[in-house]
Amino acid sequence: MTNINITPETTRIGWIGTGVMGTSMCSHLISKGFKTTVYNRTKSKSQSLLDQGANWADSPRGVAENSDVIFSIVGFPSDVRNVILGNDGALKGCSAGDVLVDMTTSEPSLAIEIAEQAAASGVHSVDAPVSGGDVGAREARLSIMIGGEKSVVDALQPCWDAMGKTIIYQGGPGAGQHTKMVNQTLIATNMIGVCEALLYAYQAGLDLDTVMKSVASGAAGSWSLSNLGPRIIQGNFDPGFFVEHFIKDMGIALSEAKRMGLSLPGLALSHQLYIALASQGHQRDGTHALQLALANLAGIDWKSRSI
């Protein structure tokens, strides 16, 4: 049984990655009273956290040297490998008994590799990807899917409570990442349905807001429809989650499916549609920007239509 006591009074938090999601998530921990040290490749993106009282470190290693529990949420598996296992990565700055928590959506195999290397240094490792987008991060109601040693995960409960509402332990190292692949597979095909349905409604001459009142609360309802549908209608494609990161996630899921001998044609279709969307210059838009590509196929300029 691992004896870890996490409290704002005794536990120093480290945070690596202050992007769309990470800034809000880290902010909640600071608000709970945790002394926090942060790092991001672009320091200016951490300014709001520094203003809130966080300390700055010049590297992931520097974060770990000044922290007991180190969280990371970055872009791609290569970024995870760099900020955790790299020459100036967090593991190099950890002491025995520290905890590494990667909240990036990444490869299950990498989560297992990190856990093995961390254990060799007496360090604990947890993979804890999240779902809920920018809104869920801001409102501290993320779904957190967790893999790792159960006693360590349980000890981190004050941190989970600060960031999320649905906090589920899934199993050993990599289990959190596998669960996130299930999540992304569900979203991938659902997003096609949301965009196609709103495109159909528009072409049929229906009032989109009125249509939403009928369908969003019934059997066709979904998180994507209720939260991203209004943004699509408004022509607001600001990112809650980047297209390029979603393409990465679907690629991981397809690779894992192939390894397990599974054929997932719906996911493969969504992956190809999003690759096409990115090629049109929308890689840094939100995932609901798929509407633009599908509308374009129908000869409709979605952003310039009368809203």
CATH architecture of the domain formed by 179-304: Orthogonal Bundle (1.10)
Residue 229, token pair as written in the block: 């549908």
What are the residue boundaries of the structural domains of the chain, listed by start?
12-173, 179-304
- Label residue 1 by pLDDT band (50, 70, 90): very low
In the annotation, is 32 catalytic? no
Of 43, 92, 165, 180, the catalytic one is: 180
Residues 227-237 have a mean pLDDT of 96
As a CATH number, domain 12-173 is: 3.40.50.720
For residue range 256-289, list pLDDT tens digits in order.
999 999 999 999 999 999 999 999 999 999 999 9
pLDDT of 133 reads 86
For residue range 177-221, list pLDDT tens digits in order.
999 999 999 999 999 999 999 999 999 999 999 999 999 999 999
